[in-house]
Amino acid sequence: RTALITGIAAGMGTAFAKAFVEAGATVVGTDIDEANGRAVMDDLGPAAHFLLGDVARTEEAEGLVRQVVDEHGRLDILVNNAGVTKSLGFFDVTEADWDRINAVNNRGLFFLMQATARSMRDAGTGGRIINVASIAGKGYRGTSNVAYAGTKGSVIAMTRISAQQLARYDINVNA
């Protein structure tokens, strides 16, 4: 199987990439942090490949899917892990903060999920989409900021609706 994993330069993304390689998948990892992203994927061996990309830019997200399919012949699994936040009080969230958090955590996640699902549907192979959510999306009081919590609530809702709408194509969507 071929998996595309976003946000692989650190943390959970690195752990996901390692786990998928260990399970025998070909892994294409993407991140905006080229140096750390390449280092992570290089450490994982020949089954791991790096693509520089910013999922917040819709055309880049769609291009990532095309490139994975062109280079590996298929895309079976998407792990929508890329996400951004920072610790901000209610009155400290700026329009720029709001826009960046929503661009990555919502818009990027959705359009990458859409491009991936379209590829899976058109190939007739089905597949798996895993969206990384957070307890912040269910109102966790200790969240980093209200904008982040809103995006993760949106991830939960988008995942549920996408699972219902994509099941007919044998595309399983979870968060």
* Marked catalytic residue, from 16, 50, 110, 148: 148
Is 169 among the residues known to form the active site? no
Which structure tokens are listed for 147?
């904008």
DSSP strands (E only) in 2-161: 2-6, 26-31, 48-52, 77-80, 127-131
- Residues for the chain: how many in total? 175
- The three state secondary structure string of 65-106 is HHHHHHHHCCCCEEEECCCCCCCCCHHHCCHHHHHHHHHHHH
CA–CA separation, 44 and 105 (whole Å): 26
CA–CA separation, 138 and 149 (whole Å): 8
Place of tokens 């450490």: 43
Q: Which residues are annotated as catalytic?
A: 148
